[in-house]
Structure 1
């Protein structure tokens, strides 16, 4: 299969390309930088590059996280996805695999499965994030074989959670990392996934039935449990235990993806955070997280 990877230079994209090739696919990657540069916010440029590549399937891993600019990332989710879907449809692409997130669900007390609706309310900035996710998922669903991967919080090489990344800086008290907001060791529950496991799911998703899938590890956990483990792995001070919980911070379940044969190689953040091969520092020109948009 000829596969177009949009966002090939991002944290997931870099893990994804060799896995697709190993699975026997012909891979063409595009990104803002690199041998095939294209600006996903330029509809005509996207149309031209997709027409030239004429893929059998598109894997959408587009983000704009390097500058920690939520509005910029939302533009990619909304406008970038719109341009990519329109261009893919124009050349007859039926299958798309798209990156989404697993923390956009409506509030609740238990980890969410895919039957839980996206959050219908919320205050800014969450309201804007969920609106962007809703627009992305709605756009890709226009293609007949659309698979949405709702990733957990990504960690590993090229992410904010790698040694030397933005989270380490924030926990160490770096004022420049205040854009992350509060990293609270409270009862708010998160689900994580290593970038290699996320990439493996994207490869497998080329054969999955259309729909949404949570791609998370096996252990949703409150901040007061996972933050000290992460801080220890990053060799920075752990935050003080606090009380309270954001109602929407409930984590997610991976039962549906597991039923199709995917399983995280790093089943828990407990061991994943401490895997220094997985969490090697990214120090060369990537800023606070190296995922980027084309």
Structure 2
């Protein structure tokens, strides 16, 4: 297949591109920088420098590539600004979907999140409604997610990958990154909030497999949703940082996600639990 990846040099894209090439696909990836173009060329992929907010440029890039499938990996996670990420999910997705439709693309795989579900008891499955009535500041994230998923659903065959929190190279949980700094500064609480995680290599593998999956949302997370008072000390040990004391609290939407559907579709994560994965963030 000819595959166009929007956002091909991020934490997922940098792992995904080699996997797709190894599977025999022809890959064109978009990036915002000259360095990104060099990285794509070094991996054996085609590259295009692209501003996702430039509607005409996005349309031209997708039309020129004429892909069989578009993979949407656009985020603005580096600065940790929810408003920037929401803008990409709203405006960037709209431009990408419209470009794909005009180019006759019939398959799109898109990155969403597994912590957008409404409050409730226990980990959420894909049938659980999204938390569309959430107040601010969470509403900024939910607005971006609902816009993204709605737009992507306009493509004939669409798979929306609701990823757990990424860890591994290039993520907030890697050595020397945001969570290490928060542990050092004592600002990462070890409370009752439940999270689901996924290693970036497992997330990339799921994206490759999703090219053959039926339409709809799929949670991509490991087998062990866990409260922060369990996973935070394990992360601290893996990063050689002090573990904070256990505290109480956590929002009702911090509930984790079930990966039953992904498992039924044949996805088998290399790291089935963060318990071993945190120590393997190469």
Q: SS in structure 1 opposite 2:108?
A: strand
Match of 1:187 among 192, 198, 222: 192
Q: Which residue is equivalent to 1:103?
A: 115
Q: Which residue pairs with 2:217 in the alignment? A: 212
Over residues 131-163 of structure 1, what are the superposed CA-to-partner deviations in whole Å (9 max), with x where a residue is unaligned?
110000000000010100000000000001000
Note the C-alpha offset of 1:126.
0.7
- C-alpha separation in 2, matches of 1:22 and 1:148: 23
Within a 5 Å distance, the mapping from 1:10-29 to structure 2 comes to 10-29=10-29
Instruction: Give the SS at the match of 2:148.
Output: helix
For residues 202 and 252 of structure 1, the distance between their equivalents in structure 2, rounded to whole angstroms, comes to: 18
* Residue 151 (structure 2) pairs with residue 171 (structure 1): no
Which residue of structure 1 lines up, in the alignment, with residue 63 of structure 2? 51
Provide the C-alpha distance between the structure 2 equivalents of 1:153 and 1:183, rounded to a whole number of angstroms.
Answer: 15
Post-superposition CA distance 1:151-197 (Å, at most 9, x none): 000000000100011110111118xxxxxxx5321111000000000
Measured in 1, the distance between the counterparts of 2:81 and 2:219 equals 25
- For 1:114-137, what per-residue CA distance to the aligned partner results, in whole angstroms no more than 9, with x for missing partners? 000000322211111011100000
Alignment of 1:1-294 (within 5 A): 1-33=1-33, 34-35=36-37, 36-173=48-185, 183-275=188-280, 279-280=281-282
The separation in 2 between residues aligned to 1:239 and 1:109, in whole angstroms, is 26
Structure 1 equivalent of residue 42 of structure 2: none
Structure 1: gaps (5+ residues): 175-181, 281-294
Aligned to 1:287: none
SS at match of 1:207: coil
Aligned equivalents of 1:152 and 1:68: distance in 2?
16
Q: Which runs of 5+ in 2 are unaligned?
A: 38-47
SS in 2 for 1:11: coil
| Structure 1 Cα separation of the partners of residues 55 and 236 of structure 2 | 42
Q: Aligned equivalents of 1:242 and 1:69: distance in 2?
A: 26
The two structures, once aligned, show a CA RMSD in angstroms of: 1.0
Q: How many residues align?
A: 270
Name the CA distance, whole Å, in 1 between partners of 2:144 and 2:118: 15
Structure 1 residue 53, shift from structure 2 partner? 0.7
**Partners of 2:139 and 2:87 in 1: how far apart?**
14
